[in-house]
Amino acid sequence: MKKQPEITTQTREKMMEAFWSLYCGKKIEHITIKEITDKAGYHRGTFYEYFTDIYDVLNQLEDDLLEYIRVNHIERVDANLSEDDIQNIANLYSVKGKYLSVLLGENGDPQFLNKIKAIFIPVLMDTFGLSKEEIHTSYIFEFASSGIFAAITHWYNNEEELPSQELIALIRSMLMKGVYPMIQKYSTTTL
């Protein structure tokens, strides 16, 4: 008897949620399939109908999140890098922040930021009309994308201590004018 698609989707999602609740508290190496299936309320065999191992759960979760980011956030960036574009990335944290903060945090997947950049940087290069062969552009976008995601992750992990508009203005100003003018602006000593 074939399972109904909505039941299989629900089962997969329950196991991913169970994995996620465990992953938020400990490193992946310390999570067992038994913990996932017990938490989700399924037998061990059911796990293998959806996943090959624990790392496959993480990869599927990341793939789902990356697709969401690509469709809802990255494809909307324009060449002016307006406040709306940075707000768009900050809004991503409103919806998916609990996942991003863990995946980009110290217990997360060290390769996850690289996966985001792999979909983010080509779109930016096309948007700005830059050649992939120009060696300098890869350094520029590596610097900028790492900075944007690090700043927003820091903001989210610090309970959004700045109003989002202020954060966006700060990031945009650093991108457009450089970091040093911001250091001078907020320094308590004369530089």
pLDDT band at 141 (very low <50, low <70, confident <90, very high): confident
pLDDT exceeds 90 at position 153: no
Radius of gyration, CA atoms only, the chain? 20
Say what the pLDDT of residue 191 is: 60
Task: Give the model confidence (pLDDT) of 44-74 as tens digits.
Answer: 999 999 999 999 999 999 999 999 888 877 6
Please determine, for residue 7, whether its predicted confidence score (pLDDT) is greater than 60.
yes
Tokens found for residue 55: 């790392």
Mean pLDDT of 18-27: 92
Of the pLDDT bands very low, low, confident and very high (cuts 50, 70, 90), residue 1 is very low
- Note the pTM of the prediction, 2 decimals: 0.76
**What confidence tens digit (pLDDT) does each residue in 115-128 have?**
988 887 787 777 77
- What does the pLDDT read at residue 50? 95
Burial of 15 (0-12, 13-18, 19+ CB in 10 A): buried
Q: At residue 34, what is the residue type?
A: K
- CA 87/CA 171 separation, integer angstroms: 10
What region does 140 belong to: left with phi over 0, alpha with psi -120 to 50, or beta? alpha
Model confidence band, residue 168 (pLDDT cutoffs 50, 70, 90):
confident
Cα dihedral 167, 168, 172, 177 in deg (nearest 10): -30
